[in-house]
Amino acid sequence: MVSTIVHQLTRNLSMEEIEKSGFANYYVDHTVGIWPMAAGGIPFNSCEFQSKGDAITDLFEDMAAEQKARTTYDNILRLVKDDPDVCEPIKFLRAREIVHFQRFGEALRIVQDKLNSKNFYAFNPEFDCSK
């Protein structure tokens, strides 16, 4: 959805608008094609996905990722508050991040409830449980 919004906002840019907006360096490499990257210009890569193979660690990582995405959407909304064609889809995505955070939190509680509370963080439940 975000890529579609970016495409819609950039597809009809003139060369003058591209140069004036600071978009020229991006244009040289990608024209106005969508190339996923952070706002600071760092290209997306698989390092964005974190997994340790430990249910508790991974669920906390998932929850953190949802909060980071929500914060990004909050920041976008602060920047584009006057454009409903951008705001409404971003508000939808932001709401989705909140629901995902809640569901991961519920999953974390289920995992924690099934662990020995004395060993809450002392072992990897995926491997170190006594059988």
Looking at the structure, tell me whether residues 81 and 128 fall in a common domain: yes
- Say whether both 95 and 36 belong to one domain: no
Report whether 83 contacts 89 (CB < 8 A): no
- Please tell me whether residues 113 and 61 are part of one structural domain: yes
| Co-location of 103 and 54 in the same domain | yes
Q: Identify whether residues 86 and 128 lie together within a single domain.
A: yes
For 18-22, 83-87, 115-119, which range has the lowest pLDDT when averaged over its residues? 115-119
Residue range 20-52, pLDDT digits in tens: 988 788 788 877 777 777 777 787 777 767 787
Return the pLDDT at 12: 87
Same domain, yes or no: 129 and 69: yes
Which pLDDT score is estimated for 118? 61
Both 24 and 71 in a single domain?
Answer: no
pLDDT for residue 119 is more than 80: no
Domain identity same for 15 and 63: no
Determine the structural domain holding residue 109 and report its residue range.
49-131
In the chain, the percentage of residues whose pLDDT exceeds 70 is: 87
